[in-house]
């Protein structure tokens, strides 16, 4: 198994502003794995918050010795080795997980959804994200998103009401809200959620900081909308505790090390009677397609990371009016654009 990797700078169509940051370019690393004449792809989209950078990802790949394994088919053994190689490094681990799954699908000649027995016609509807911006830009973005039936709105600064009012002037479609930990006071959070309930909002993602778990529990007991954990959840082991403070979890492949662990998180959340959403970072069609193969198992999909960029080097799952359309090509179903 031969690994090589390359950096791509993804250009965002609009500056992407959430409650704690803003950016125009998102660098990612594409991992290529060649074995037995088959080329497979993985992707790592690093997040500073979780201690990753382009440098840490390259160093992690370089530290791996996959020559000890005979075949990528030995997924369990290889991924156990990769996970134990160093703590953290979740997006780098994800890249390896995706490349292995892509390879296995290609070797067997089946798309991943088929390998897992899932119906590609049943992918959860996918939302389109509206980041925080001025009234004029938000209005323009809502018009541009006319074909998407569900919008996910970023809130958590002091212009929450203005954001929602601006959107509601243009459309009455269903909204998901993501506060990205922006509300630090639980009474304020409760008040905002009460108001959002009247604005046809379906749920609120991460209303308060992950380190205010007791406040989140308090809020969950009183809030009229489902609360979905995002910043509070990274990996499988955290899911059971979160059932005390949230109604669902937002799984991100880049945080949970890939589709293998994501599947376990989905099953665990279901056992706890929790809703399941899958989100993404800014990613190419490699990461987005990987998530989309699991979309038939989700309640909510927020896999628009590559729709927000103008130079995705890959073609894969298509987002057609908010519906994730998986193709019948084997593995992840992605191809490098010429
Ligand atoms: Mg979020």
Distances (CA, A) of 189 to 192, 196, 245, 252, 268: 5, 10, 14, 24, 28
Distances (CA, A) of 191 to 244, 265, 298: 21, 31, 29
Amino acid 50: pLDDT = 93
Amino acid 14: pLDDT = 83
How far, in Å, is the centroid of ligand 1 from the Cα of 230? 5
Helices (H), 109-212: 112-115, 135-144, 160-170, 186-197
pLDDT in tens, 275-319: 999 999 999 999 999 999 999 999 999 999 888 899 999 999 999
Q: Identify whether the C-beta of residue 175 lies closer than 8 Å to the C-beta of residue 202.
A: yes
Tokens (6 digits) for 296: 């038939």
| DSSP three-state, residue 317 | coil
How far, in Å, is the centroid of ligand 1 from the Cα of 37? 39
Query: Which of the residues in the chain have pLDDT under 70?
Result: none
How far, in Å, is the centroid of ligand 1 from the Cα of 278? 10
Amino acid 146: pLDDT = 93
Q: For the full predicted model, state whether its pTM sits above 0.85.
A: yes
Helix (H) or strand (E) holding 77: helix 75-84
The pLDDT mean for the chain works out to 96
On the CB side of 213, how many CA atoms lie within 13 Å of its CA? 8
How far, in Å, is the centroid of ligand 1 from the Cα of 282? 12
How far, in Å, is the centroid of ligand 1 from the Cα of 306? 16
How far, in Å, is the centroid of ligand 1 from the Cα of 334? 25
| Nearest-10 crossing angle of helices 135-144, 160-170 | 40
d(CA 302, CA 127): 5
How far, in Å, is the centroid of ligand 1 from the Cα of 256? 14
The domains found in the chain, sorted by start residue, are 2-109 (3.30.390.10), 114-336 (3.20.20.120)
How far, in Å, is the centroid of ligand 1 from the Cα of 52? 18
Amino acid 269: pLDDT = 98
How far, in Å, is the centroid of ligand 1 from the Cα of 294? 18
How far, in Å, is the centroid of ligand 1 from the Cα of 180? 6
pLDDT in tens, 311-335: 999 999 999 999 999 999 999 999 9
Amino acid 22: pLDDT = 80
How far, in Å, is the centroid of ligand 1 from the Cα of 34? 34
């Amino acid at each position: 198994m031969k690994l090589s990797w390359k950096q791509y700078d993804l250009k965002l169509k609009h500056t992407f502003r959430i409650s704690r940051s803003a950016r125009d370019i998102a660098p990612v690393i594409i991992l290529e794995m060649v074995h037995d004449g088959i080329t497979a792809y993985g992707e790592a989209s690093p997040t500073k918050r979780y201690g990753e950078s382009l440098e840490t990802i390259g160093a992690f790949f370089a530290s791996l010795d996959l020559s000890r394994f005979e075949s990528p088919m030995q997924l369990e053994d290889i991924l156990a080795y990769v996970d134990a190689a160093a703590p953290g490094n979740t997006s780098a681990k994800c890249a390896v997980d995706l490349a292995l799954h892509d390879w296995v699908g290609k070797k067997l000649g089946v798309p991943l959804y088929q390998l897992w027995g899932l119906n590609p016609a049943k992918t959860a509807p996918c939302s389109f994200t509206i980041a925080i911006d001025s009234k004029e830009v938000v209005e323009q973005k809502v018009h541009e998103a006319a074909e998407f039936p569900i919008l996910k709105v970023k809130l958590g600064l002091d212009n929450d009401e203005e954001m929602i009012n601006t959107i509601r002037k243009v459309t009455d479609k269903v909204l998901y809200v993501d506060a990205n930990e922006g509300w630090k006071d639980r009474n304020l959070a409760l008040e905002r959620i009460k108001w959002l309930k009247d604005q046809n909002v379906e749920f609120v993602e991460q209303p308060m900081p992950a380190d205010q778990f007791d406040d989140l529990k308090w809020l969950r007991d009183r809030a009229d909308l489902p609360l979905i954990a995002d910043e509070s959840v990274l990996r499988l082991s955290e899911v059971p505790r979160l059932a005390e403070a949230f109604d669902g979890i937002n799984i991100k492949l880049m945080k949970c090390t890939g589709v293998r662990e994501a599947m376990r998180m989905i099953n665990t959340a279901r056992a706890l009677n929790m809703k399941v959403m899958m989100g993404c970072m800014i990613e190419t069609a490699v990461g987005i397609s990987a998530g989309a193969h699991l979309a038939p198992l989700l309640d909510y999909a927020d896999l628009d990371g590559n729709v927000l960029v103008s130079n995705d080097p890959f073609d894969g799952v298509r987002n057609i009016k908010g519906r994730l359309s998986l193709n019948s090509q084997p593995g992840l179903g992605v191809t490098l654009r010429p």
